Structure 1
């Protein structure tokens, strides 16, 4: 990303390029005209049913049939704050974030990070990182990257500046929480204004489950690994129409355009 910025300053990627004109990202208005969507009284009945049923297949069906209505609510500032109370199944049913993201885009886009990260991006990131000036922090991240899934996660600490280190950036994405402690603790103590994911386990190397924390609500992740949990965290920005954390916008934009291939050519 630093290379991209240097090229912009040198004129290789003009700031007035047509590629920079069209907006993109999670809050971009997208077509939501889907088949099989409920409206009117049928939509209200489905939402009412979703508040009471525990049948998983029915939950996924009714959430799929109310997707367009939900997108309209999410994009309305007056109703978006109530989206998790209107659709409480997000809070206890794994996989609904992924289903909405797939409806918004497609199956191919939805699967790109998990399909491409380990086979292409991860080895190349490691290769390029080894060519950089080594620091203690860099060595720690390289060790984590080269180890099997479940290696060191980072606990949170305060953040004072939007210009942050890699460790501080990681701590805006993931918080580790011991499974023996109440989940109310991270909800009450962490002041993140943007979504992040919570890794829960007896120790950092033995994570048992993951949650997305959104507006002090816990959304259970379907994934049982950190890469899958991050995949769901990224998707939550689009599903709930949320801006990226300002300190991480370049990181998220790189993943959005280069890994997921969303809004290519529309964003810097």
Structure 2
């Protein structure tokens, strides 16, 4: 009940903040004044860096910006603010894939090359890097495709720096994608799974797993297979969690050998003189004979 009231209270505070936002809306006035950066603070509902001044609320991008605003708020709001917030049609907007498709047949500027990479690379030939359609934006009725999320954020914050550029006369040749499956086996392994395989082999070399009633070689191969599944960057979160749990269970079974080897004695001991969980772990160990380590 307390949590419900607290949630309701926070929602009322946020609603009041939105209704009383100052001239800069969700954009940080300090970033705009100091570097003309359009730092959008709407991505978070946190009020940690919010301040009230002259009956209006302002959101800042960091504690440092908040401290500057609180020290001299008059410098960052009209009439002393050096830069007003641009009109809505002059603020860059990120495009989703469906929004990007709806702009057809409009083409991307710079023939799809990333404007941020090109500008930050001093407009050199080698700085012509194709953008990704997952990081598209629209500015001044033009479409731009950025290389990654970091470059996209840079454009959104400083569009005047990146929006108007011209390509050189000579452009890189078009890249034709090569299917990994068309490569010979060594090339496929190098380009496709080398990093993941090296991590798995390093892990198995450090842990040296030995599953009950299985050879060392088969135990190592099973551990590598589980590691590849558990840390597959292209796998779903559900699949990774599933195989991380299987890997933990696999290691628990491997640790039975070390535990029993340390606790077992040559002479018979009465149950009351044994370790509390010795009998349970011994029974678990014996039950693993002829059991599939992966599927149980």
TM-score range relative to shorter protein: under 0.3
- Normalised by the length of structure 1, the TM-score is 0.18
Structure of higher RCO (CA pairs closer than 8 Å, 6+ residues apart): 1
Q: Which has the larger radius of gyration?
A: 2
